[in-house]
Every structure is written in structure tokens, then in C-alpha cells.
């Protein structure tokens, strides 16, 4: 959902391959073991089997994540890495874990907010809900976001505004794919963005800086 955070940034990076972060490689591997004892050595061996060039210092991060996850209760997965599709919406998604009671979750390598979930996570849960509803014919109320470094699993119930956001984001994506340059959004996360100069020189002062 990079297009949601800033469509201009997405446009600049549209031809760059998306690579998995080292922290994600660690969190993802832990996720396969949630709901069962988390053995640091076993998980580390799996991580370096998957990513042999990973910095050995990441083992400390693994230990921190395991300590955090051991404080919570986790449902073991009965299925992992399940691809979901909505032909109607033209979207494909991936569920990281499905529990025996049918609840699904996605895995994040980020820390959790004090309350709620990040906008991009809500969008991803909503996209998966669209796909599952089309695949099963039943309404999907929501799904969990698992913030592994903090050991937090947070349920997000899909709201109508999330569904509207998905539809609007898909429209933006379509027009970028058609070659249109997106408009600069007022609330884009420009402070932390490496394209700030490029954007400022292309549009002059941003309105949000003048207000
Ligand atoms: S500087 Fe702002 S508008 Fe430009 S790409 Fe970055 S986040 Fe988007």
C-alpha cells in the first residue's frame, strides 16, 4: 500500500523492485512459530537458511522479539502464506497466518502504536477482506495485525471508510499505471522523505508549508 502513503513517491519508485528488510526476515520467521514455544536457536537457523547473507547482529533483534512475543497469547496457525484474490477489485493479497478458528493475521516488523493500527495496515486488512468475501461468499469482519517487535496482536474491524479508501487507492494506482503523474497530497509524509527536494523543485512551495 505504498501508493496510499504517498502516490508521488510510489510514482517515483514504480520501477524499483521491492526488497524485504532484514528485520522483516526475522519477524516473518518468528511468525511461523507463534502459538508454540519460541526457540531462539531453531528460529535463527531457519532465518539464516532463508537469508544466508543476513547480518549476524540481527540475532539480538530476534532475542528482543522473542522476549516481547513471550509476553502475549498467540493462536497457532493452521495455514500460512495463503494467497487471496479478488477478480472484481483486481487485487491479490497474502495472508500470513490463519488460525483454527478462521481468524487471519498479517505480520509486521514495525512496533505497534499505543492504540489502533497504522493506515497502511488497515488498508491491507481491508484488501484481504474484499478478497476473502469474494472467495467465500461470507462477510469478513476484520483481521489481526501482528507487530512482532512489540509482541502485540491487534484486531482491526473493517469499517466502511476503509473500504472506500481501498477503492480510492485502486483508482490512483490505475491512473499511475496508465502513466499519469499523481498530484502532490497535502498530508504526505514529506519530512522524512528522500524526494523532498525533487518534489519542491517540481511544484515550488507545498501548500502545507505555506499554511
Ligand atoms: S516529498 Fe512528499 S510529496 Fe514528494 S514523494 Fe516525498 S512524501 Fe511524496
CA angle 107, 14, 8 (to 5 degrees): 95
Give the pLDDT score at 107: 98
Instruction: Report which protein residue has its CA nearest ligand 1's atom 2.
Output: 190
CB 29 within 8 A of CB 6: no
Asked if residue 190 has its Cβ within 6 Å of ligand 1, the reply is: yes
Pull the grid cell for residue 68.
Answer: 516481547
Give the pLDDT score at 6: 85
Distance from C-alpha of 43 to C-alpha of 208, rounded to nearest angstrom:
46
Give the pLDDT score at 202: 64
Residues sharing a CB contact under 8 Å with residue 71, sequence separation 6 or more, in sequence order: 151
Residues sharing a CB contact under 8 Å with residue 67, sequence separation 6 or more, in sequence order: 151
Average pLDDT over residues 173-195: 84
Distance from C-alpha of 13 to C-alpha of 39, rounded to nearest angstrom:
38
Q: Across all residues in the chain, what is the average pLDDT?
A: 91
Higher pLDDT, 3 or 147: 147
Distance from C-alpha of 176 to C-alpha of 179, rounded to nearest angstrom:
5
Asked if residue 3 has its Cβ within 6 Å of ligand 1, the reply is: no
Q: Which fold has domain 13-181?
A: Lambda Exonuclease; Chain A (3.90.320)
Higher pLDDT, 62 or 187: 62
Distance from C-alpha of 78 to C-alpha of 97, rounded to nearest angstrom:
8
Instruction: Give the distance between the most distant pair of CA atoms in the chain.
Output: 55
Identify the helix (H) or strand (E) that includes residue 161: helix 160-177
For residue 204, report the phi and psi dihedrals to the nearest 5 degrees. Answer: 75, -155
Span from the CA of 199 to the centroid of ligand 1 (angstroms): 6
Distance from C-alpha of 45 to C-alpha of 41, rounded to nearest angstrom:
6
What pTM, to 2 d.p., does this model score?
Answer: 0.86
Domain ranges of the chain: 13-181
Give the residue carrying C-alpha cell 533483534: 61
pLDDT tens, position by position, 125-171: 999 999 999 999 999 999 999 999 999 999 999 999 999 999 999 99
pLDDT of 203 above 60: no
Q: Closest by alpha carbon to 62, among 21, 33, 36, 23? A: 23
Distance from C-alpha of 145 to C-alpha of 158, rounded to nearest angstrom:
12
Span from the CA of 201 to the centroid of ligand 1 (angstroms): 12
Distance from C-alpha of 165 to C-alpha of 7, rounded to nearest angstrom:
13
pLDDT tens, position by position, 164-178: 999 999 998 888 888
Span from the CA of 97 to the centroid of ligand 1 (angstroms): 33
204 band by pLDDT with thresholds 50, 70 and 90: very low
CB 111 within 8 A of CB 100: no
Give the pLDDT score at 17: 76
Amino acid at each position: 500500500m505504498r501508493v496510499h502513503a504517498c502516490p508521488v513517491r510510489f510514482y517515483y519508485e514504480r520501477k524499483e523492485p521491492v526488497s524485504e528488510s532484514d528485520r522483516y526476515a526475522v519477524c516473518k520467521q518468528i511468525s511461523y512459530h507463534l502459538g508454540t514455544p519460541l526457540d531462539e536457536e531453531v528460529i535463527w537457523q531457519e532465518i539464516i537458511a532463508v537469508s544466508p547473507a543476513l547480518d549476524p547482529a540481527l540475532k539480538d533483534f530476534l532475542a528482543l522479539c522473542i522476549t516481547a512475543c513471550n509476553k502475549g497469547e498467540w493462536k497457532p496457525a493452521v495455514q500460512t502464506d495463503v494467497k487471496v484474490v479478488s477478480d472484481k477489485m483486481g487485487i491479490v493479497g497474502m495472508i500470513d497466518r490463519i488460525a483454527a478458528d478462521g481468524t487471519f493475521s498479517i505480520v509486521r516488523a514495525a512496533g505497534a502504536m499505543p492504540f489502533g493500527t497504522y493506515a497502511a495496515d488497515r488498508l491491507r486488512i481491508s484488501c484481504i477482506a474484499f478478497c476473502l468475501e469474494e472467495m467465500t461468499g461470507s462477510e469478513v469482519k476484520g483481521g489481526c495485525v501482528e507487530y512482532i517487535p512489540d509482541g502485540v496482536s491487534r484486531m482491526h474491524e473493517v469499517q466502511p471508510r476503509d473500504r472506500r479508501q481501498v477503492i480510492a487507492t485502486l483508482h490512483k494506482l490505475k491512473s499511475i499505471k496508465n502513466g499519469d503523474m499523481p498530484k502532490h497530497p497535502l498530508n504526505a509524509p514529506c519530512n522524512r522523505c528522500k524526494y523532498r527536494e525533487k518534489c519542491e523543485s517540481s511544484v515550488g512551495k507545498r501548500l502545507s508549508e505555506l499554511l
